[in-house]
């Protein structure tokens, strides 16, 4: 065998080393000198750079299609600084020989290449093609996102179902303030089987109920809705507590998911405070002492301590037991609290969770907890108790609180007004004060103020000028035991047809749309208009305890009342080629004619484009609506745009939407007329109300 010379041995070693590098299963490319001229690269590199002239060329030329993708810059940055650079799953677009663009993902490292003496020689780049891994990761992320969206959609559906199955509001009754709070479980299933209800009965009492169905999700919510419906129907029909629970028990015997549901039903007479109750497997109610707040007039020191009523030994539904009933008394100023066991069995609860609940609820009712002077004692009990007890340890189950406090009944309201439209402005303040004392929510204050104002305006326009001649309008309002406000507007005049007033003709029709019922009875001694409308107090549905100061109010749409409630003012705003007007205050029968005249004057008879900002309008009566309709009709004829701005939830926006003037849900709403689909008919309201528009 021939012994090779030393030079031949070295050359063979170099070839073997080059062959080994060429077989490396990852990309390798070596650049030398300031220009990083490629001195070596392997088969894996050739595979991703097919058809390219690589060896002996600068890396910036070899990878010119990557010049804007940060890779080329990274090579020269390593040579400049001598510091390595690495990246994980960088996306790369490479030009292919056929003119197409290929996509790959690379995890790489660029390191300095040194001479034997330590001086910088070039840069060595190594990379792995991780395209398959990156695509798998992207697919996993996309699938996780899809599942997340699907979960959120399902959760939203369940939560929406929960809201729909709970009462739209709680009744406001003479001598009783009712409130509720509902805190959804922390668990991922969200909505569960807790529920509450308050049902007025034919004999003037109120049935207060809370219940708990085992489990969470759609099934529990559905069963909860069935049980609530059965109990509500039976109690509304005059059934006793035992009869109503027997009906729910029969349902639990047929519906498996309702088995072992617990219910607490209390029948309360707001006038006397007499109550009867049954705890069907449920924790007993709590009576919170009077504190002297909220008009109870019982002294700031309070009376007694909180006490739990004795359980009635009723059994859960569907378990074959019975439903005995006990009686007790709720004294003036005291608050009755019904609750579900989630408030007692929360994580972090102390050894005597019931005593802790009683103390915190008592402090909340007395106003000794968080400062919220605008809330009733019942509302403080339902919101602040939740927040204070849950915020430290969280909660694992739904929590429902339902509270009712006995308060002095609001007396009947009686107003005698001169038959002058301007007198209605003072009456609106008195009506609002009376409704607030009764416990009405903003939504109902808005509706009833508006309805009484329209009926009084109608009487002023049509009642006087005949033989009777007593120019006084009598307004009476009272809160019925059923939770309805009944208001009567009486005149003692003779019917007359007023001279044509272009801004009138919609009052009764608008009122009929606002309230539950309206009856107008003309007679020889005058006319009596009677309207009825229920008062409902919204409950608070919370997704977490952090929302307890601002959670969603279930069953009520907020009505924003602008602060300006005095005289109507018209302000001209800067504008280029259009008139820009802001209205503030009431646009009612007393000011509508002035508004109409000013809008026509400032728009030059409807020939100049005009924007009218109604955000500061505190009251928009039918007379004001008619004025806006007439101005809009003239702009339509002249083909000059009219834009109305009314913030969502404001009095102006509510009425504009109700009477059919086009509006937008945006904030603020900007409605261009006449570019909209068209204006309503001359009456401005549909004839389905059953009231002739000619009656005012």
Considering the domain boundaries, does residue 454 fall inside one?
yes
- Kindly report, residue by residue over 561-606, the tens digit of the pLDDT: 554 456 788 988 887 778 899 999 898 888 888 999 999 988 889 8
pLDDT score for 19: 78
Residue 8 covered by a domain? no
pLDDT digits (tens, 9 = 90+) for 238-297: 999 999 999 999 999 999 989 999 999 999 999 999 999 999 999 999 999 997 544 333
Same domain, 218 and 287: yes
> Residue 248's domain is classified under what CATH number?
3.60.40.10
Of 356, 372, 406, the residue at which a domain comes to its end is: 406
Q: Is the same domain home to 109 and 38?
A: yes
3-state secondary structure of 672: strand
Q: Return the axis-axis angle of helices 241-254 and 217-236, rounded to nearest 10°.
A: 150
Same structural domain, 356 and 211:
yes
Domain count, the chain: 4
Whether residue 153 lies inside any domain: the answer is no
The answer to whether residues 348 and 207 belong to one domain is yes
Report the CATH number that the domain containing residue 78 is assigned in CATH.
Answer: 3.30.450.20
User: In 535-651, at which residue ranges do the beta strands (DSSP E only) sit?
Assistant: 536-537, 539-542, 552-554, 569-573, 579-587, 610-620, 642-646
Q: Are residues 256 and 393 in the same domain?
A: yes
Domain identity same for 256 and 331: yes
Whether 151 is in a domain gets the answer no
Domain for residue 245, yes or no?
Answer: yes
What CATH number is attached to the domain comprising 663?
A: 3.30.750.24
340 and 378: one domain?
A: yes
The rounded distance, in Å, linking the Cα atoms of 461 and 529 is: 14
255 contacts 213 by C-beta, under 8 angstroms:
no
6 belongs to a structural domain? no
End-to-end CA, the chain = 126
**497 and 366 in one domain?**
no
Q: What is the pTM of this model?
A: 0.68
pLDDT tens per residue, range 108-133: 999 999 999 999 999 999 999 998 88
User: Element (H or E) spanning 509, and its range?
Assistant: helix 507-514
Provide mean pLDDT across the span 195-201: 93
The domain boundary, picked from 406, 426, 453, lies at 406
- Clarify whether residues 291 and 272 are in a common domain: yes
Of 112, 129, 146, which residue constitutes the final position of a domain? 129
Domain of residue 520, CATH code = 3.30.565.10
Question: Would you place residue 187 in the very low, low, confident or very high pLDDT band (cuts 50, 70, 90)?
Answer: very low
* Co-location of 29 and 71 in the same domain: yes
- Which range marks the domain in which residue 646 is found? 569-695
Q: Are residues 372 and 452 in the same domain?
A: no
Has residue 355 got a pLDDT over 90? yes
Q: Residues 363, 476: one domain?
A: no
Does residue 333 fall inside a structural domain? yes
d(CA 215, CA 183): 15
pLDDT of residue 393: 61
């Amino acid at each position: 065998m021939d012994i090779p010379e030393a030079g031949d041995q070295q050359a063979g070693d170099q070839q073997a080393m080059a062959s080994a590098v060429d077989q490396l299963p990852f990309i390798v490319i070596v650049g030398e000198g300031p220009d990083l001229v490629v001195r070596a690269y392997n088969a894996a590199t050739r595979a991703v750079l097919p058809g390219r002239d690589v060896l002996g060329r600068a890396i910036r030329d070899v990878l010119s299609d990557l010049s804007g993708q940060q890779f080329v810059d990274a090579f020269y940055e390593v040579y400049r600084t001598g510091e390595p650079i690495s990246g994980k799953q960088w996306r790369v677009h490479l030009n292919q020989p056929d003119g197409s663009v290929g996509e790959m993902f690379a995890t790489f490292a660029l390191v300095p290449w040194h001479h034997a003496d330590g001086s910088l020689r070039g840069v060595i780049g190594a990379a792995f093609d991780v395209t398959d891994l990156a695509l798998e990761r992207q697919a996993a992320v996309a699938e996780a996102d899809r599942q997340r969206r699907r979960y959120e959609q399902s959760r939203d559906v369940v939560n929406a179902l929960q809201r729909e199955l709970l009462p739209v509001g709680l009744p406001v009754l003479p001598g009783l303030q009712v409130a509720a709070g509902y805190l959804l479980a922390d668990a991922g299933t969200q909505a569960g089987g807790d529920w509450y209800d308050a049902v007025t009965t034919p004999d003037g009492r109120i049935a207060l109920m809370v219940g708990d169905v085992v489990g969470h999700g759609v099934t529990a919510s559905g069963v909860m809705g069935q049980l609530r419906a059965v109990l509500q129907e039976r109690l509304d029909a005059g059934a006793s507590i035992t009869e109503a629970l027997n009906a729910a028990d029969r349902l639990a015997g047929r519906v498996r998911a309702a088995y072992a549901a617990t219910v607490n039903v209390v029948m309360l007479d707001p006038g006397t405070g007499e109550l009867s109750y049954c705890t069907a497997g449920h924790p007993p109610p709590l009576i919170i002492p009077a504190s002297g707040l909220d008009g109870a007039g019982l002294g700031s020191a309070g009376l007694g301590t909180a006490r739990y009523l004795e359980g009635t030994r009723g059994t859960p539904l569907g378990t074959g037991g019975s439903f005995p009933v006990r009686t007790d008394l709720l004294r003036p100023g005291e608050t009755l609290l019904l609750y579900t066991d989630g408030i007692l069995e929360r994580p972090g609860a102390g050894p005597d969770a019931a005593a802790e609940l009683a103390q915190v609820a008592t402090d909340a009712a007395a106003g000794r907890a968080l400062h919220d002077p605008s809330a009733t004692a019942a509302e403080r009990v339902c919101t602040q108790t939740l927040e204070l007890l849950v915020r430290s340890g969280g909660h694992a189950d739904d929590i429902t609180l339902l509270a009712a406090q006995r308060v002095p009944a609001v007396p009947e309201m009686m107003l005698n007004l001169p038959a002058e439209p301007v007198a209605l402005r003072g009456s609106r303040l008195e009506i609002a004060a009376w409704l607030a004392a009764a416990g009405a929510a903003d939504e109902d204050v808005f509706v009833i103020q508006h309805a009484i104002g329209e009926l009084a305006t109608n009487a002023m326009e049509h009642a006087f000028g005949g033989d009777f001649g007593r120019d006084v309008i009598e307004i009476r309002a009272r809160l019925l035991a059923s939770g309805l406000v009944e208001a009567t507007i009486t005149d003692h005049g003779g019917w007359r047809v007023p001279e044509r007033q272009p801004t009138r003709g919609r009052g009764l029709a608008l009122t009929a749309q606002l309230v539950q019922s309206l009856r107008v009875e003309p007679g020889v001694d005058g006319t009596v208009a009677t309207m009825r409308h229920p008062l409902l107090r919204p409950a608070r549905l919370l997704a977490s305890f952090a929302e307890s100061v601002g959670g969603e109010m279930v069953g009520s749409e907020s009505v924003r009342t602008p602060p300006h409630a005095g005289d109507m003012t018209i302000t001209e705003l800067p504008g280029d080629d259009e008139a820009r007007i802001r209205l503030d205050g009431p646009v009612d029968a007393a000011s509508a004619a002035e508004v109409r005249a000013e809008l026509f004057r400032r728009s030059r008879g409807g020939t100049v484009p005009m924007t009218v900002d109604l955000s500061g309008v505190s009251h928009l009566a039918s007379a004001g609506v008619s004025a806006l309709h007439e101005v809009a009709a003239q702009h339509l004829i002249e083909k000059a745009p009219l834009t109305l701005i009314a913030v969502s939830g404001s009095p102006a926006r509510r009425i504009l939407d109700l009477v059919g003037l086009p509006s937008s849900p945006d904030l603020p709403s900007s409605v261009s007329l006449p570019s909209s689909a068209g204006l309503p008919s001359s009456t401005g309201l549909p004839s389905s109300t059953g009231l002739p528009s000619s009656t005012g």
